[in-house]
Structure 1
């Protein structure tokens, strides 16, 4: 849950937080974090690993999306 709050904070601070693509990344991350919470007891190694995978997936999604958004149109 703490990781989710960090992700949401980062989105709110970023200039491109209004794009629907970045919102989709955040929604996917929320779903991933929710699944981790359902499958693993909080504060266990399994939960931490699952949560870290969600964060890695979110960061990858965000980086790819920002690269596409910043790519000049030809």
Structure 2
């Protein structure tokens, strides 16, 4: 995941879905949240990218029981 985030782009939702499923398989919620935070950081000034990615990942997030940083309230820290 470090290599993927190291690139100067936002990963596609399919790639992020696979990463989130891997986190869930390992029961690693912290890594799943960190992935979502990294996507938001990578989106930078483009305000429409992060909501689009979350919209595409919403069924997977609901299925896996993963909350976004905004839902957890940790985006304001």
Which is helix-richer, 1 or 2? 1
Whether TM-score is above 0.5 comes out as no
Which of structures 1 and 2 has the bigger CA Rg? 1
